[in-house]
Amino acid sequence: MRTQQTRLWQPIAAAVLALATATPVFADSNGKASPTAVSSQDAVRYRTKRIDGIEVFYREAGPANAPTVVLLHGFPTSSNMYRNLIPALATKYRVIAPDYPGFGHSAAPPREQFQYTFAHLADLTDRLLTELRADRYALYVMDYGAPVGYRLALKHPDRVTALVVQNGNAYEEGLKAFWDPIKAYWASGSKADREVLRGATTLAATREQYLDGVKDPSRIDPTAWLVDQALLDRPGNAEIQLDLFYDYRTNVALYPKFHEFFRNRQPPTLIVWGRNDKIFPAEGAQAYLRDLPKAELHLLDSGHFALEDKGTEIAALMVNFLDRHLPSR
């Protein structure tokens, strides 16, 4: 059965992933392409490194000696979510966007051979950055990227030059009703509560994450969620994701440590947040200001994947912010 599933999945995934290689650009509200994205797209490189026996995929662009920006993706996506942002940043910065194991183009070893926890994902990301000699970096954190990135910050506080937070939660205020079934699973660890969450790995759920809270759904490219789902549908991957849903509780336990890092280090911080996000509502964005009172906060009329329809605005805010705060080399 596993071989048959793999054979069925491979041609579908190949077709969808071929679409993902098309030249991506941001479009403004009138549908006009961003010339910055077009002109620097050819600078993006698609590479893999073997870390602890695992093939880890990453996108890289920009001058090798420029300040480094690391883009950390969320669920259920990959570095593909940054396909438009990377070229917009690459004229000035070295950009690195990895795929975690089990996501995107990175290997997805069986659960029996690899521990799918946020601590492990952060550790492999740290090792990748060390291999790439990225010893100082700004972090863009979205969704799962927040706990991965903040674990890096706890381990290497001196390496973090700035934070860009896009719908990446670190506060209880950001865990509203959407999280109730997940919290039930955390409390019980039961098979029944695990099965309740299986629907979150379906195409309907992935599509909803992209469209919910978006003012004009016609601006959202369906290729994005189809690419995500093709990779999510790899044999065994649903169980991997359910393991990570359960392990997310360890991130919440670290929230006080994350807050301590914010208070003690006061990294320059830009918060760009889709205010209509039901997964991480705007209260989670506003809570950052308790510990980072100098943070710049922008609540955008968008949802969870705000880069999809507010990419031009986010890129402009980010470049302006980084220009003011990143140390030159």
SS3 272: strand
| pLDDT one-digit tens code per residue, 274-288 | 999 999 999 999 999
pTM given for the model:
0.90
| Cα 105 from Cα 52, distance rounded (Å) | 17
Count of domains observed in the chain: 1
Of 318, 320, 322, 327, nearest to 300 by C-alpha is 318
Residue 62 belongs to what domain range?
2-325
Told to judge if 156 belongs to the known catalytic residues of this protein, a careful annotator would answer: no
At 207, list the tokens: 């599509």
pLDDT over 60 (residue 14) = no
Decide: 19 and 12 in contact? Cβ < 8 Å.
no
- φ/ψ (deg, to 5) at 24: -95, 145
Of 82, 7, 118, nearest to 315 by C-alpha is 82
Confidence of residue 329 (pLDDT cuts 50, 70, 90): low
Bridge partners, residue 72, by sequence? 141
Query: In the chain, how many H helices and how many E strands?
Result: 14, 8
Q: How far is CA 254 from the centre of its chain?
A: 19
At 289, list the tokens: 């200001």
Of 237, 310, 244, 239, nearest to 273 by C-alpha is 310
State the catalytic residue, choosing from 73, 259, 304, 325. 304
At 326, list the tokens: 């990143």
**Whole-Å CA distances, 218 to 84, 215, 309:** 17, 9, 9
Domain of 307, CATH number, reads 3.40.50.1820
For the four alpha carbons of 314, 177, 250 and 238, in that order, the dihedral sign comes to negative
| Cα 80 from Cα 73, distance rounded (Å) | 8
Q: Output the pLDDT for position 111.
A: 96
| pLDDT one-digit tens code per residue, 245-295 | 999 999 999 999 999 999 999 999 999 999 999 999 999 999 999 999 999
Decide: 158 and 181 in contact? Cβ < 8 Å.
no
Decide: 81 and 134 in contact? Cβ < 8 Å.
no
| Cα 319 from Cα 317, distance rounded (Å) | 6
